[in-house]
Amino acid sequence: MEIFMLEDPIVRPGGAGRGSARASELVQRSAALLSSTALGTLTDRVVTDILAGVPFYRASQAPADLRETVHSCLCLGLAALQDLDRTDDFEHSARHLGARGADQGSPLEALLQAYRIGGGALWSGFVNLVIEQQPGDVFLLVDVAEKVWQLVDRITQVVADAYRQVQGELAVDRIHRNWRLLDSLLYGRPDQPALAVAGMALGLRSEDRFAVACVRRPTAYPEPEPLPTLKLGREGDGVSVLGHRRAGEEAMLLCMGNRDLDELPDASIAVPGGQVGLGPVVQGLGQIGTARALAELALATCRRPGEVSRLDRRLPTAFVLGRPDLASRIARSVLQPVLNRPRGEREVLLATLAAWLDCGGSPQRVGARLFCHRNTVLNRLRRIEHLTGRSTTRPRDVVELSLAVDAYQYGQHPPMADLPPHLPPRG
């Protein structure tokens, strides 16, 4: 039995060991010969193997300049093998190739798989050339293989790094572009061509149904984030959401599909500690701006932390808030005699009127809420009738009283400054 000690160097014919000068000369000579005599054939072979072996390219998505790219990569590899000291040159070229792949939208895995195919073809070219030209030096292919695959690995790594860098830059550009497009839908008045461009980029159809939710966080944002945020495709209860933020404002575009607002739980869009105003469902990209304006109106009716206010459930209040000048006028026109009373009486009367409206005109429920007897509630209502000249039994008078209370709570007056703490916001 023969025993070979691993620490003993294995001497090959001609005295050439690993990394010998003969191996380096073989690499340089073979690379030069392949470049001058077989580069075109090698390029065609690599292109054929890529089209057959890489699913992305097999699906007829190969870039038109695939052969040119393969030719450039093989030239790069062969040139590097002829002068391994010129690393800056080949790394610069490799970075360019990786960046171009990202620009063309080729998946990185497909790109790297193609490079591996090219590396294999390059190695096969070396083997075939040495067998044909210098069969006595076949044993040196062990050293050649190491050099070839080290080079392929280095080029592949540089290409991958450049690809990821450009892809990241493109992703940032895409975020900025989509942010601007969504901003134009929410806050601008884009024309039909601009609507089509925005819809295509954001994955929205012109005939889709949308709603907008405007958000007020518990604390104000600091300076606008340097990178606008856009969340694409988040699923919440079957409704796709596009989130948009600008300085001091935040909105969610809800792509409703065939759903109605009643199918959208408040909890799915609620903001802990914040407030959300939800506008009506509209149809068409051109109506998104209107939906956003109505959602802002709904948000203005919010008074409690964590509240979600739907416009269709706050229409009288929203009607008042839509005209703050009229809100102030109606509050003073109807409630001025009550507002002129001493603070204690004024607070009690306004609290009773608001509770009576919220409780559907039931003195018993008002008494339970305000911790007083129903007769006390009726006496206070008669006092309000006397002061305002409005009757709680006449429908038109009740409408005026209701609008006046909303106007006082939500209008120019501080909503809760002059009202008792136990008076809940209406609606």
Query: Is there a domain that residue 138 lies in?
Result: yes
223 and 124 inside one domain? no
143 and 68 inside one domain? yes
**DSSP codes, 122-182:** HHHHHHHHHHHH-GGGGGGHHHHHHHHHHHHHHHHHHHHHHHHHHHHHHHHHHHHHHHHHH
C-alpha torsion sign, points 97, 102, 104, 105: positive
| Length of the chain, in residues | 427
337 and 229 inside one domain? no
The pair of structure tokens assigned to 330 is 């109606």
Taking alpha carbons only, the member of 337, 312, 328, 317 closest to residue 399 is: 317
144 and 213 inside one domain? no
CA–CA separation, 361 and 338 (whole Å) = 19
23 and 148 inside one domain? yes
The CATH number of the domain where 350 resides is what? 1.10.10.2840
The pair of structure tokens assigned to 203 is 């994955």
Going from the C-alpha of 96 to that of each of 68, 70, 90, 165, the distances in angstroms are 14, 13, 10, 11
- Which own/partner contact pairs does 369-373 have at CB distance under 8 Å and 24+ positions apart? 370/422
CA–CA separation, 43 and 122 (whole Å) = 10
CA–CA separation, 168 and 35 (whole Å) = 35
Query: Is there a domain that residue 183 lies in?
Result: no
pLDDT of residue 176: 78
CA end-to-end span of the chain: 97
Tell me 61's DSSP state.
Answer: I
Of the residues 278, 313, 348, the one at which a domain ends: 313
Of the residues 279, 313, 347, the one at which a domain ends: 313
165 and 208 inside one domain? no
Query: Is there a domain that residue 303 lies in?
Result: yes
268 and 148 inside one domain? no
357 and 306 inside one domain? no
Query: Is there a domain that residue 188 lies in?
Result: no
Domain hosting 200: range is 195-313
Query: Is there a domain that residue 285 lies in?
Result: yes
Whole-prediction pTM: 0.55
pLDDT of residue 421: 37
Local confidence pLDDT in tens for the 427 residues of the chain:
333 333 333 334 444 444 467 777 777 787 788 888 888 888 888 888 888 888 887 765 666 778 888 888 888 778 877 776 666 667 777 788 788 877 777 788 888 888 888 888 888 887 888 888 878 777 777 776 777 777 778 878 888 888 888 887 777 777 778 888 888 888 887 877 788 888 888 888 888 899 999 999 886 544 444 333 344 344 444 577 888 887 778 898 998 888 888 888 888 888 888 899 999 999 999 899 999 999 999 998 888 888 999 999 888 888 888 888 888 888 888 999 999 999 999 999 999 999 999 899 999 999 999 999 999 999 999 999 999 999 999 999 999 999 899 888 775 443 333 333 334 444 4
Going from the C-alpha of 407 to that of each of 208, 291, 303, 412, the distances in angstroms are 36, 23, 14, 8
116 and 23 inside one domain? yes
pLDDT of residue 86: 66
Contact in structure between 286 and 293 (CB atoms under 8 Å):
no
Query: Is there a domain that residue 426 lies in?
Result: no
Of the residues 313, 339, 362, the one at which a domain ends: 313
Query: Is there a domain that residue 382 lies in?
Result: yes
Contact in structure between 241 and 234 (CB atoms under 8 Å):
yes
21 and 45 inside one domain? yes
144 and 88 inside one domain? yes
The CATH number of the domain where 77 resides is what? 1.10.490.10
233 SS3 class: strand
Going from the C-alpha of 152 to that of each of 18, 77, 78, 248, 327, the distances in angstroms are 19, 8, 11, 51, 75
Place of tokens 């800056």: 88
Query: Is there a domain that residue 423 lies in?
Result: no
Total structural domains in the chain?
A: 3
CA–CA separation, 424 and 137 (whole Å) = 94
Contact in structure between 18 and 142 (CB atoms under 8 Å):
yes
pLDDT of residue 151: 74
pLDDT of residue 375: 95
246 and 350 inside one domain? no
Taking alpha carbons only, the member of 355, 363, 260, 237 closest to residue 312 is: 260
**DSSP codes, 178-225:** HHHHHHHHHHS---HHHHHHHHHHHT--TT-EEEEEEEE-SS---SPP
H-type alpha helices, 280-342: 288-300, 315-321, 324-339
